Amino acid sequence: MNASGLSPEQVKLQARARELAAGPVAKRAAEVDRTEQYPWDNVELLKDARLIGMTIPQQYGGQGKGWLDAVLAIEALSSACAVTGRIAVETNMGAISAVMAYGSEEQKKLAADMVLSGDKPAICITEPEAGSDAGGMTTRADKKGNRYVINGRKHWITGGGVSRLHLIFAKVFDEQGNEEGIGGFLAIRDETKGLKITKREPTMGLRGIPEAVIDFEDMDVPPSSLVIPPRGLKKGFADLMNAYNSQRVGAATVALGIAQGAYQLALDWSEKRRQFGRPINEFQGLQWKLADMSIKLVAAQALVYNAARSGEGGFPDMLLAAQAKVFTSESAIQVVNEALQFFGARGYSRELPLERMARDVRMFTIGGGTAEVLRNVVAGALLNKKLPQTRDGWSKS
Ligand SMILES: Cc1cc2nc3c(=O)[nH]c(=O)nc-3n(C[C@H](O)[C@H](O)[C@H](O)COP(=O)(O)OP(=O)(O)OC[C@H]3O[C@@H](n4cnc5c(N)ncnc54)[C@H](O)[C@@H]3O)c2cc1C
């Protein structure tokens, strides 16, 4: 699946990531899934290969690479192990990119140092009663003297229990109880009293990375932990979500990588497996499946690369990121499902990676904005209209 338009450095970076993926990462993937243990050894491999914190500017110890560079690494890694691909997403995009764009000097140094030493930050937005309607969150940060006191519950937080740095979205209230907008607070697990990991979700796939419920009980933090985007708290949510467009491109890339991995397995198997005295790829029924799978993959890759390129010098464009994530996540599910079919009964066995890939890839139409809600984002951008989803037409965010 060669993409044109890559620089020689990008081709080298891609080769480095592919080598790692085909070697140690592929070897560990089934075990990571089976044991449900976070692959700290892979984190070390990513660190050594300089695939972590690549997008962090050089003055903070990173490499100042662009989104497409990160995408190339994530795509290659995810074809072998989606969990490792997600670690590469969250150490290059999402929370870390929000802090590097909007944080104070102190916040940037803290976050960069933690990520470069192998911490995958957690981004805490979703709540039990505020999923797609994230602006309806009830986690609150009340100003009390020279502190903020945070109370609330987040769930489905990727990395809960392994991540140390957390970026926690909360409604911010002044001392008089007036709501000022939504901000992101930085807190470090085990160093911040009141930040409690209270449950690990038993997930369908992506099992090597925990999804957790996190409770904030009178979590007391200084104002210096509040990340305030340049347009202030009133636009804080919109700006923080703009940074999140990088993570959406990253999520689409993981789905793409998984599907490419599954497609390659099916292609190879279709030559090896013989029925009726001939390789199964001599049957037109399967040839057309291969053709459709490859078309979806090429189209998805073009959308993902294009969305990544749109963000150079800033964040990926919201419309392009949403289009890429909807198409790629849905196509990837179809491609992996078809790839599994090529293997007949073997595809249904846990001895092959297809069933793991099918479980892993299913997530990507859900996490990071569902395919339905992202279609609303696409429609809103195309029509250039706010499309509030509440009955009274009032938009909270
Ligand atoms: C593996 C995984 C990892 C995740 N990681 C994180 C994380 O690290 N941090 C974090 O904050 N969150 C995370 N999430 C949460 C994720 O972002 C939410 O699950 C997602 O935003 C959807 O919210 P919900 O699950 O509450 O679904 P709901 O909002 O309850 O939606 C239910 C259904 O209704 C549909 N729907 C809702 N509103 C509309 C509408 N207006 N128009 C059309 N359809 C609509 C949805 O598309 C969906 O099909 C993760 C989720 C998963 C599965």
Give tens-digit pLDDT for 78-123: 999 999 999 999 999 999 999 999 999 999 999 999 999 999 999 9
Q: Is 72 in the pocket of ligand 1 (CB under 6 A)?
A: no
Whole-number Å distance, alpha carbon 366 to ligand 1 midpoint, is 5
Q: Is 208 in the pocket of ligand 1 (CB under 6 A)?
A: no
Q: Say how far residue 357 (Cα) sits from the centre of its chain.
A: 16
Q: What are the distances in angstroms from CA 205 to CA 26, 41, 85, 100, 331?
A: 16, 20, 14, 30, 18
Mean pLDDT calculated for residue range 50-64: 98
Q: Read out DSSP for 129-181?
A: TBSS-GGG---EEEEETTEEEEEEEEEEEETTTT--EEEEEEEEE-TT--EEE
Over residues 126-142, the pLDDT tens digits come to 999 999 999 999 999 99
**261/1: higher pLDDT:** 261
Find out whether 87 and 96 touch, Cβ atoms under 8 Å: no
User: Residue 68: what pLDDT?
Assistant: 98
Q: Is 352 in the pocket of ligand 1 (CB under 6 A)?
A: no
User: Residue 295: what pLDDT?
Assistant: 98
Whole-number Å distance, alpha carbon 81 to ligand 1 midpoint, is 23
pTM of the predicted structure, to 2 decimals: 0.97
Over residues 226-255, the pLDDT tens digits come to 999 889 999 999 999 999 999 999 999 999
Q: Is 135 in the pocket of ligand 1 (CB under 6 A)?
A: no
Rounded CA gap, 283 and 271, in Å?
A: 11
Mutate to test the pocket of ligand 1, among 123, 133, 156, 248 (most ligand atoms within 8 A of CB): 156
Over residues 169-212, the pLDDT tens digits come to 999 999 999 999 999 999 999 999 999 999 999 999 999 999 99
> Which band of pLDDT confidence, cut at 50, 70 and 90, is reported for residue 50?
very high
User: Residue 74: what pLDDT?
Assistant: 98
Mean pLDDT calculated for residue range 375-383: 97
CA triple 249-74-62, angle to 5 deg: 90
Q: Is 168 in the pocket of ligand 1 (CB under 6 A)?
A: no
Residue 334 has pLDDT above 50, yes or no: yes
Q: Is 388 in the pocket of ligand 1 (CB under 6 A)?
A: no
Q: Is 101 in the pocket of ligand 1 (CB under 6 A)?
A: no
16 CB burial (10 A radius; 0-12, 13-18, 19+): middle
Find out whether 363 and 78 touch, Cβ atoms under 8 Å: no
Give the tokens for residue 302: 């073009």
Cα dihedral sign for 320, 323, 326, 331?
A: negative
Whole-number Å distance, alpha carbon 61 to ligand 1 midpoint, is 34
Q: Read out DSSP for 207-270?
A: TTS-EEEEEEEEEEE-GGGEE--TT-GGGHHHHHHHHHHHHHHHHHHHHHHHHHHHHHHHHHHH
Residue 270 has pLDDT above 80, yes or no: yes
Which ligand 1 atom sits nearest the alpha carbon of residue 133? 29
Which ligand 1 atom sits nearest the alpha carbon of residue 203? 1
Task: Report helix, strand or coil for 196.
Answer: strand
Whole-number Å distance, alpha carbon 247 to ligand 1 midpoint, is 15
Q: State the chain's mean pLDDT as an integer.
A: 96
Residues 6+ apart with CB under 8 A from 105: none
Whole-number Å distance, alpha carbon 361 to ligand 1 midpoint, is 15
Q: Token pair 């291969």 is at which residue?
A: 290
Over residues 73-85, the pLDDT tens digits come to 999 999 999 999 9
Phi–psi pair at 98, nearest 5 degrees: -65, -45
Q: How many CB atoms lie within 10 A of CB 230?
A: 8
Q: Is 136 in the pocket of ligand 1 (CB under 6 A)?
A: no
Q: Is 305 in the pocket of ligand 1 (CB under 6 A)?
A: no
Which ligand 1 atom sits nearest the alpha carbon of residue 368? 17
Closest to 84 measured CA to CA, from 44, 128, 131: 44
Residue 1 has pLDDT above 50, yes or no: no
Residues 6+ apart with CB under 8 A from 279: 270, 271, 272, 273
User: Residue 393: what pLDDT?
Assistant: 83
Partner residues linked to 215 by β-bridges: 153, 196
Rounded CA gap, 241 and 235, in Å?
A: 10
Ligand 1 atom 7, closest CA: 157
Residue 3 has pLDDT above 70, yes or no: no
